[in-house]
């Protein structure tokens, strides 16, 4: 598996199908001013002409800044909607006549969640419940919620809230009744260079000519996905979803000290210890998940275990379950980014000195 393969874009056939699915439809992104939301909205406008593209978020300054940027500036198809996922009545208004929802809004910083647990619960769990309720009331066609590797066998509050959110999204299919609304989850690892992540943090220290880079533990590993790949993976699964699945991409892992060396090869690394709520390694599929996990070649699909809603299993299409001892974790991943691959990726996405 080469770097090019794990950061590939959509196939031509998928692009054609996505255009057929989304052309002249209304798409709403919660947390639309975040790193993912902006990249997703840009990709949508690059691929097709939606009827409306709604950016739903609670920060008016971020919305103002986004409105000044290409391709959003003076674009009649793009609407900016101030609101909070904690506010169900606001969501119900925003979701009127919406066809597709991408739920990306969340509180995501592990230390912040540990110190402000109730705020994290209100946004990530109760906010997700509100999004699902508003989608059902407005007969939205398809909903994809973004998850994280920290939701698999969580040890911190953020991961626990995202696991609960995943469960809510899958269970929402049972509430659809005669409605056609379907809900699925996309789970992936660290996004290269996303706001607040380790790459811009290390780059900032390097550019400030600091003496050392802080490393929590030399053994620590993580999954890595690029922002363009994350966006295209969501679009691909929007086509594939039948309701209740958790989609997991096959991506490479990296070692934190290797990343630090790729960013600042001449800087010393200082071991500072693991922060509260931090894992040594991340996982996206646990041993307990194997009974419901199918191998799709370029991704894994966790089928829902709930018997309360009808759906056609992907096993009917010939896909097979993974082995009983299967586990998808960052340190046991057979595919790791080499130093050269890390350096190439950092250069490609503008993080070199």
Q: What is the mean pLDDT of residues 212-239?
A: 96
| Residue 7 pLDDT | 43
CA 246 to chain centre: 11
Compute the distance between CA of residue 133 and CA of residue 22 in angstroms, rounded to an integer. 22
For residue 241 the two structure tokens come to 């979803």
Mean pLDDT across the chain? 94
Q: What 8-state DSSP symbol labels residue 95?
A: T
253, 223 Cβ separation under 8 angstroms: yes
Q: What CATH number has the domain bearing residue 301?
A: 3.40.50.720
For residue 20, pLDDT beyond 90: yes
Q: What is the mean pLDDT of residues 240-249?
A: 97
Q: What 8-state DSSP symbol labels residue 273?
A: -
| Residue 3 pLDDT | 38
Tally the domains of the chain. Answer: 1
Write out pLDDT tens, residues 64-87. Answer: 999 999 999 999 999 999 999 999
In a domain, 134, yes or no: yes
Structural domain boundaries enclosing 148 = 3-189+227-251+287-327
Write out pLDDT tens, residues 142-172. Answer: 999 999 999 999 999 999 999 999 999 999 9
How does DSSP assign 70-87, residue by residue? TTTTT-TTEEEEE--TT-
Of 150, 162, 252, 279, the catalytic one is: 150
Compute the distance between CA of residue 319 and CA of residue 294 in angstroms, rounded to an integer. 6
Helix or strand (DSSP H, E) at 145: strand 142-148
308, 167 Cβ separation under 8 angstroms: no
Write out pLDDT tens, residues 327-347. Answer: 999 999 999 999 999 999 999
Strand partners, 143: 101, 183
What pTM value is reported for the model?
0.95
In a domain, 86, yes or no: yes
Worst-scoring range by mean pLDDT, 174-178, 204-208, 224-228, 302-306? 174-178
- Say whether 62 is catalytic: no
Q: What is the strand order of the sheet 100-103 is part of?
A: 78-82, 52-57, 26-30, 100-103, 142-148, 182-188, 246-249, 299-302, 293-295, 320-321
| Residue 8 pLDDT | 54
| Residue 113 pLDDT | 93
In a domain, 15, yes or no: yes
In a domain, 177, yes or no: yes
Helix or strand (DSSP H, E) at 213: strand 212-215
Worst-scoring range by mean pLDDT, 38-42, 123-127, 153-157, 303-307? 303-307
For residue 228 the two structure tokens come to 């363009």
Spatial CA neighbour of 13 closest among 235, 245, 225, 186: 235
| Residue 296 pLDDT | 96
Compute the distance between CA of residue 284 and CA of residue 223 in angstroms, rounded to an integer. 9
In a domain, 271, yes or no: no
Write out pLDDT tens, residues 264-288. Answer: 999 999 999 988 888 999 999 999 9
Q: 199: which residues sit within 8 A by CB, 6+ positions away?
A: 192, 193, 259, 263, 346, 351
Torsions phi, psi for 226 (to 5 deg): -85, 160
Q: What is the mean pLDDT of residues 94-110?
A: 97
């Amino acid at each position: 598996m080469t770097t090019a393969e794990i950061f590939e874009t959509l196939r031509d056939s998928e692009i054609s199908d996505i255009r057929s699915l989304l052309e002249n439809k209304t798409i709403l992104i919660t947390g639309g001013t975040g790193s993912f939301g902006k990249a997703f909205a840009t990709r949508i406008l690059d691929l097709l002409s939606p009827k409306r593209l709604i950016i739903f978020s609670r920060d008016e300054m971020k919305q103002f800044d986004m409105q000044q940027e290409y391709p959003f500036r003076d674009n009649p198809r793009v609407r900016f909607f101030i609101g909070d996922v904690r506010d169900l009545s606001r969501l119900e208004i925003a979701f009127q006549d919406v066809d597709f929802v991408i739920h990306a809004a969340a509180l995501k910083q592990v230390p912040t969640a540990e110190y402000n647990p109730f705020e994290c619960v209100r946004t990530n769990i109760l906010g997700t419940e509100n999004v699902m309720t508003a989608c059902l009331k407005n007969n939205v066609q398809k909903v994809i919620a973004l998850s994280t590797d920290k939701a698999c066998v969580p040890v911190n509050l953020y991961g626990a809230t995202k696991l609960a959110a995943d469960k809510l999204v899958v269970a929402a299919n049972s509430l659809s009744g005669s409605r056609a609304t379907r809900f699925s989850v996309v789970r992936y690892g660290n996004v290269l260079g996303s706001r607040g992540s380790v790459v811009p943090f290390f780059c900032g220290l390097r550019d400030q000519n600091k003496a050392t880079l802080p490393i929590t533990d030399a053994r620590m590993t993580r999954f890595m996905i690029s922002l363009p790949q994350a966006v295209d993976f969501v679009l691909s699964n929007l086509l594939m979803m039948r309701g209740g699945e958790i989609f997991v991409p096959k991506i490479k892992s990296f070692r934190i000290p290797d990343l630090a060396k790729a960013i600042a090869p001449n800087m010393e690394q200082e071991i500072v210890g693991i922060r509260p709520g931090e894992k040594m390694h991340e996982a996206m599929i646990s041993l307990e998940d194997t009974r419901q996990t199918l191998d799709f070649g370029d991704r894994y699909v966790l089928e829902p275990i709930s018997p309360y809603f009808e759906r056609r299993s992907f096993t009917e299409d010939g896909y097979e379950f993974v082995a009983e001892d299967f586990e998808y974790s960052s340190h046991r991943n057979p595919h790791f980014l080499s130093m050269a691959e890390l350096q190439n990726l950092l250069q490609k996405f503008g993080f070199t000195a």
